[in-house]
């Protein structure tokens, strides 16, 4: 089959667009095929937290390197993605929380990572003057921050296009077939595209794409929900997270507060639609109110959910297929792939170019689970907060 391009990236979320950017910059002819619109799913509906705080240990080197790229985004993309270097703080509400934060720092310090710093009660209350009186301490990453999800997605889209990538919208992949010299992609309209290399960046649909090439991993999915309040006078600049319960929380420049970090609605992979669970949203709002009493009486203006891929171990799938030549998987970001995206796209581009990743990625192997385990259903638990 004739090769239309040198790399086809499936999925026009941040992971796919970042891959396209880095691969096109390295000189490959790249086509992104996006079923809907860039940023239509997790990437556009994210909370935008840029967090090195509390990362799963295998993710720490990637999160730290990605954070450096966030600071360099204006040079790389000609747009900062709305990145605000605000710090992220995990709040301890009781002795058990504080113990778990101390244990965490003991582990990270022993491994030589010093970016997570313990705060005692006085320090956390100085840093977060609006925090509730019962708070006893915290853990801070001072270089962390947050960004604007749709702006970042568009910035990668524009930069990838400037570098020569072609982005096709409304181009859903219906099938993948191994042919001489590469892969034949069948789109939902029946047309075909050919390329020697494919990156599977289909987010929550990543397992469906993997199965098309004979791979499988237990990628589930969830509808992660967010709330957005009426504006309040400024009371916090940092992103705040709870320790013993799910919460991620920030106030943006307009004064509105974004509340997320874990509550889940219902997602339908076939339609791509989500349904909010108002009871769970209310529980999340109560947690936010207990930690920040200043939220009393503020109205929730709107709420939304985005469909996110969740792996059982809540770390992504990043790696070459061991069975299907030319295939790289980049999905399963489990609620925290926004922060990693500037770097993980670069790693995927390196892999398709035949280079080795400069960062350790063995823990993210597509083969780390026993084949056939059925988790193609909403995942119930999530240890790391979304964000």
Ligand X SMILES: Cc1cc2nc3c(=O)[nH]c(=O)nc-3n(C[C@H](O)[C@H](O)[C@H](O)COP(=O)(O)OP(=O)(O)OC[C@H]3O[C@@H](n4cnc5c(N)ncnc54)[C@H](O)[C@@H]3O)c2cc1C
Binding stretches for ligand X (CB under 6 A) = 10-16, 33-36, 40-43, 45-49, 172-173, 201-205, 224, 226, 260, 306, 308, 331, 333, 335-339, 386-387
Least spacing, CB of residue 121 vs ligand X, in Å: 27
- If the CB atoms of residues 25 and 40 are measured against ligand X, the closer one turns out to be 40
Residue with tokens 């030589």: 112
Least spacing, CB of residue 174 vs ligand X, in Å: 7
DSSP state at residue 84 = B
- If the CB atoms of residues 36 and 365 are measured against ligand X, the closer one turns out to be 36
Tokens at residue 239, please? 């992103």
- If the CB atoms of residues 137 and 337 are measured against ligand X, the closer one turns out to be 337
Query: Which residues, 6 or more positions from 258, have their beta carbon under 8 angstroms from its beta carbon?
Result: 47, 226, 227, 228, 249, 250, 251, 252
Least spacing, CB of residue 106 vs ligand X, in Å: 25
Least spacing, CB of residue 39 vs ligand X, in Å: 7
Among 49, 87, 11, which Cα is nearest to 386's? 49
Tokens at residue 2, please? 């004739």
> Nearest residue by C-beta to ligand X?
13
Least spacing, CB of residue 188 vs ligand X, in Å: 8
Least spacing, CB of residue 1 vs ligand X, in Å: 19
CA distance 56 to 320: 21
C-beta of residue 203 within 8 angstroms of C-beta of residue 212:
no
- If the CB atoms of residues 67 and 202 are measured against ligand X, the closer one turns out to be 202
C-beta of residue 145 within 8 angstroms of C-beta of residue 70:
yes
- If the CB atoms of residues 62 and 119 are measured against ligand X, the closer one turns out to be 62
Distances (CA, A) of 63 to 13, 68, 343: 19, 9, 8
Least spacing, CB of residue 364 vs ligand X, in Å: 13
- If the CB atoms of residues 52 and 108 are measured against ligand X, the closer one turns out to be 52
CA distance 352 to 246: 37
C-beta of residue 42 within 8 angstroms of C-beta of residue 308:
yes
Which residue(s) pair with 91 in the sheet? 138, 242
CA distance 114 to 105: 8
- If the CB atoms of residues 79 and 121 are measured against ligand X, the closer one turns out to be 79
Tokens at residue 344, please? 């993980």
Least spacing, CB of residue 61 vs ligand X, in Å: 16
- If the CB atoms of residues 45 and 292 are measured against ligand X, the closer one turns out to be 45
Least spacing, CB of residue 138 vs ligand X, in Å: 18
C-beta of residue 55 within 8 angstroms of C-beta of residue 28:
no
Tokens at residue 13, please? 């979320």
CA distance 223 to 41: 10
Least spacing, CB of residue 199 vs ligand X, in Å: 11
Tokens at residue 329, please? 């998987």
C-beta of residue 138 within 8 angstroms of C-beta of residue 101:
yes
- If the CB atoms of residues 59 and 125 are measured against ligand X, the closer one turns out to be 59
- If the CB atoms of residues 205 and 292 are measured against ligand X, the closer one turns out to be 205
CA distance 264 to 253: 26
Q: Computed over its alpha carbons, how large is the radius of gyration of the chain? A: 21
CA distance 39 to 18: 12
């Amino acid at each position: 089959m004739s090769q239309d391009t040198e790399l086809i990236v499936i999925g026009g979320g941040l992971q796919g667009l970042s891959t396209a950017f880095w691969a096109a910059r390295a000189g490959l002819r790249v086509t992104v095929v996006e079923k809907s619109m860039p940023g239509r799913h997790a990437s556009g509906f994210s909370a935008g937290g840029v967090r090195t705080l509390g990362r799963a240990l295998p993710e720490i080197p990637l999160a730290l390197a990605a954070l450096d790229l966030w600071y360099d985004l204006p040079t790389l993309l000609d747009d900062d993605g709305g990145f605000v270097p605000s710090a992220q703080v995990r709040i301890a509400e009781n002795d058990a929380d504080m113990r778990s934060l101390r244990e965490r720092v003991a582990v990270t310090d022993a491994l030589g990572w010093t970016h997570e710093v313990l705060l005692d009660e006085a320090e956390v209350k100085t840093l977060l003057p609006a925090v509730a009186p019962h708070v006893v301490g915290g853990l801070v990453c001072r270089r962390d921050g947050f960004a604007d999800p749709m702006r970042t997605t568009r910035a990668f889209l524009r930069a990838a296009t400037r570098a020569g990538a072609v982005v096709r919208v409304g181009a859903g992949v219906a099938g993948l077939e191994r042919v001489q010299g590469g892969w034949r992609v069948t789109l939902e309209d029946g047309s075909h595209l050919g390329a020697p290399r494919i990156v599977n960046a289909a987010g929550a649909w990543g397992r469906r794409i993997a199965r098309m090439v004979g791979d499988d991993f237990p990628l589930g999915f969830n509808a992660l929900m967010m709330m957005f309040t009426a504006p309040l006078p400024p009371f916090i600049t940092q992103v705040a997270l709870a320790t013993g319960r799910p919460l991620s929380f920030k106030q943006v420049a307009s004064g509105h507060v974004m509340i997320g970090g874990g509550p889940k609605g219902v997602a339908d992979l076939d339609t791509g639609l989500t349904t909010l669970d108002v009871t769970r949203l209310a529980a999340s709002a109560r947690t936010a109110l207990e930690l920040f009493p200043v939220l009393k009486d503020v109205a929730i203006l709107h709420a939304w959910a985005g469909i996110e891929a969740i792996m059982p171990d809540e770390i992504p799938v990043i790696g070459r297929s061991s069975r299907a030549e030319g295939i790289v998987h980049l999905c399963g970001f489990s609620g925290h792939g926004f922060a990693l995206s500037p770097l993980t796209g670069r790693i995927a581009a390196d892999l398709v170019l035949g280079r080795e990743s400069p960062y350790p990625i063995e823990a993210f192997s597509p083969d780390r689970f026993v084949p056939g385990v059925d988790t193609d259903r909403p995942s119930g638990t999530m240890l790391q907060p979304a964000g």
